[in-house]
């Protein structure tokens, strides 16, 4: 709905696909909407994971890209759910050990452990400053926090092995 007196915008999506009916047009529009998730993945992969800063031989680079791709997908899922379902239970995206460690490392633990709380707790591990609540959580600080959380989980598991 456009404001009074304003000319409405018209958008045209160019495609090489054959659009024979409305159903196909809707399908192509849905495909196009996925582009933004792919863009977000590449942003996380390049800015968060900083994949371009590594200079390895081909085989080593393949292994590293595989490893970083998994982390980029995890962070994409985390940021997407944080944006779309911030009040979902944290346990839906984190395992029980991750939740336990975040609780132990958090200065304030709410009664209900939401995804929003978990993302903020992970960001704090990565250096997010508590007094800057109005500042959005950046992907690099989330990346650092995610890696630190994984390190803490690994340390816990190693310490409790018999």
* Integer CA distances (angstroms), 23 to 4, 59, 156, in order: 32, 44, 52
The mean pLDDT of 105-114, rounded to a whole number, is 91
Give which of 78, 80, 85 is closest to 37, Cα–Cα. 80
Query: Phi first, then psi: what are they for 137, rounded to 5°?
Result: -75, 120
Cβ atoms < 10 Å from Cβ of 19: 14
The model's pTM is: 0.73
Query: Who contacts 94 (Cβ-Cβ below 8 Å, separation ≥6)?
Result: 102, 118
- 21-54 pLDDT, tens digit each: 999 999 999 999 888 888 888 888 888 777 778 7
Domains, the chain, in order of start with CATH, read 22-160 (1.10.740.10)
- 129-145 pLDDT, tens digit each: 866 666 778 888 898 99
* Integer CA distances (angstroms), 76 to 45, 98, 103, in order: 9, 17, 22
Six-digit token pair at 159? 């310490």
């Amino acid at each position: 709905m456009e404001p009074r007196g304003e000319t409405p915008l018209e958008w045209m999506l160019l495609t090489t696909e054959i659009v024979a009916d409305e159903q196909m047009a809707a399908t192509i529009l849905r495909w196009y909407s996925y582009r933004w998730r792919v863009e977000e993945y590449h942003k996380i992969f390049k800015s968060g994971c900083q994949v371009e800063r590594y200079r390895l031989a081909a085989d080593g680079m393949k292994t590293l890209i595989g490893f970083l791709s998994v982390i980029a997908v995890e962070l994409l899922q985390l940021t997407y759910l944080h944006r779309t379902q911030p009040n979902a239970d944290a346990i839906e995206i984190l395992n029980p050990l991750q939740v336990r460690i975040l609780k132990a490392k958090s200065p304030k633990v709410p009664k209900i452990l939401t995804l929003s709380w978990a993302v903020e707790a992970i960001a704090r591990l990565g250096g997010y400053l508590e007094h800057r609540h109005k500042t959005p959580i950046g992907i690099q600080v989330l990346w650092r926090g995610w890696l630190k959380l994984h390190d803490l989980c690994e340390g816990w598991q190693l310490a409790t092995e018999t």
